[in-house]
Structure 1
Amino acid sequence: MLTIALESIKFFAYHGLYKEEQVLGNHFILDVQVSIPEPEHPSMLSESVNYEELYSIARRVMEVPQPLLEQVVHDITAAIRAKYPYVTHSKVTLRKQAPPFGGDLAFSVVSLEKQY
């Protein structure tokens, strides 16, 4: 199994249930990890997953405001699987910095892990 990952991608986006989050926005950190069967020719990008394309998928999804982070990680996972149907495992983790509900915490975290 070969794993390809992007770690700690930083975005500023407008995801959130509360109106102030949708107007003011927030900082997010995204991790994306996918696994595929080991390529026969590991020097050929066509037999792997292009991490530049993984970033592009993540950026496109992050640009569309959603009330729930659960929807964001679902959409990223679905878009990756649509582009790379040979992915056998994926894990997408999204962290929202200092969510505005009055608690003293660094991040709220939503993660979706799938085995295909």
Structure 2
Amino acid sequence: MDCIHLTGIRGYGYTGYLPEEQVLGQWFEVDVRLWLDISTAAKTDAIEDTLDYRSVISLIQHLIKTSKFALIEKLVATIADSILQECDRVTKVQVTLSKPAAPIPDFGGKISIELTKSKSNL
């Protein structure tokens, strides 16, 4: 199976456990891998025969911006489920969501969650 990688999709959102995260918001970054068959598009050179990944980027940015969950686990699952539901050609998706500036004292790293789902998991 073929795979399209989209990396560095950024969005400002209001998901977080702490009340200030849901009021002030923060940046999130998402990387996705999309499994699908691109063999027809490789022959025809026609966008209709593949996935227009602009729609996936817009979907992810919209979900980050409009969702308000307590846990990023819920946000990453929502992104994965939405991609599988909206994109007929995609059979499996891997979503890595990162929270670059976690509000944890004395912690300067980032927190990431990776989730892999296929259409059969819906």
TM-score (structure 2 length as normaliser): 0.84
Structure 1 residue runs of 4 or more that deviate by more than 3 Å after TM superposition: none
Q: Which runs of 5+ in 1 are unaligned?
A: none
Residue from 48, 51, 56 that aligns with 1:46: 48
Q: What's the Cα RMSD here?
A: 1.6
| Fraction of identical pairs, as percent | 28
Please give the alpha-carbon distance, in whole angstroms, between the structure 2 residues aligned to 1:36 and 1:74.
19
Deviation of residue 82 (structure 1)? 1.2
Please give the alpha-carbon distance, in whole angstroms, between the structure 1 residues aligned to 2:89 and 2:57.
18
Q: Which runs of 5+ in 2 are unaligned?
A: none
Q: Does residue 5 in structure 1 map to residue 8 in structure 2?
A: no
Please give the alpha-carbon distance, in whole angstroms, between the structure 2 residues aligned to 1:8 and 1:103.
25
Q: Does residue 29 in structure 1 map to residue 32 in structure 2?
A: no
What is the number of equivalent residue pairs in this alignment? 116
Q: Residues 8-19 of structure 1 correspond to what in structure 2 (within 5 A)?
A: 8-19=8-19
**Greater share of helix:** 2
Deviation of residue 26 (structure 1)? 1.2
Equivalent pair of 1:34/1:87 in contact (CA under 8 Å)? yes
Q: Residues 1-116 of structure 1 correspond to what in structure 2 (within 5 A)?
A: 1-42=1-42, 43-63=45-65, 64-116=67-119
